[in-house]
Amino acid sequence: MTSTLPFPAARPRPPFDRGRLLVHLAALSPIALAWWDARQAAAAILINPVQAVSQRSGFTALSLLVATLAVTPLGALLGRPRLVRHRRTLGLYAFAWAMAHASITLWDFSWIEGAFDWASLKDAVIDKPYALVGFTSFCLLLPLAVTSTKGWMRRLGRRWTRLHRLIYGIAPLVVLHYLWSVKADWRPPAAFGVGVALLLALRLPELRRRAADWGRRRRAAAP
């Protein structure tokens, strides 16, 4: 007599998530741009390739940080609350690029004549206000990245939400870091500043309620 083994039923394969793929591609594509910046800087001879890559990584980190802030209000305005599932991914990519930017910049400050110079690094961070603000922003961003998992959400409970509200203070600090670091054109950091101010304003209770109502009406009127 033969017996059949109770094999578990196969789980249905989840549908292909094009939105998640686009998020990953958008967050990783600046690697090619950073490589191109370094090549162009090296070809120009007078421009520091390390500085070019540092600037690209910092710009990408700020862009992804703003995108992370934009997910919730954009989902409300478009009537698509499921957009919030991309917030964690964008936030972690923002931290990864910020870590790359901080590492490259600190190495550039400290590597003097082929050797590490701790005194030069210390003086550069303390004497340059934009570097001090940027380093402070990175230190504040670090605990948000570490506690971004579901396990930490369960451990911290309500404190997790309060901790992650630090992003509302970190974003203006990063914009200030960008503004103080530029030497010529202040318009890009000013544009980021306006965008961050608008996204923070949309989190005020009244504006948030109106955005959600408008998004629901728009979704209901869509064919």
pLDDT digits (tens, 9 = 90+) for 136-165: 999 999 999 999 988 999 999 989 999 999
At 1 the pLDDT is 47
Q: Which pLDDT band, with edges at 50, 70 and 90, does 189 fall under?
A: very high
pTM for the full predicted model = 0.84
Residue type, 31: I
| Mean of all residue pLDDT scores within the chain | 83
The mean per-residue pLDDT over the stretch 29-41 comes to 85
Q: What are phi and psi of 154, to 5 degrees?
A: -70, -40
- Rounded Cα gap, residues 36 and 81, in angstroms: 37
129-163 core/surface letters (b: 16 or more CB in 10 A; e: else):
eebebbbebbeebeebeebbeeeeeeeeeeebeee
For the chain, what are the domain ranges?
47-221
Q: Do residues 73 and 208 touch, judged by C-beta distance below 8 A?
A: yes
Q: How far is Cα 10 from Cα 62, in angstroms, rounded to an integer? A: 43
pLDDT tens string 87-136: 999 999 999 999 999 988 888 777 665 566 677 777 777 778 888 899 99
Question: Does the pLDDT value for residue 67 go beyond 80?
Answer: yes
Cross-strand bridge partners of residue 111: 116
φ, ψ of residue 38 to 5 degrees: the values are -65, -40
Buried b or exposed e, range 63-80, using 16+ CB within 10 angstroms: bbbbbbbbbbbbbbbebe
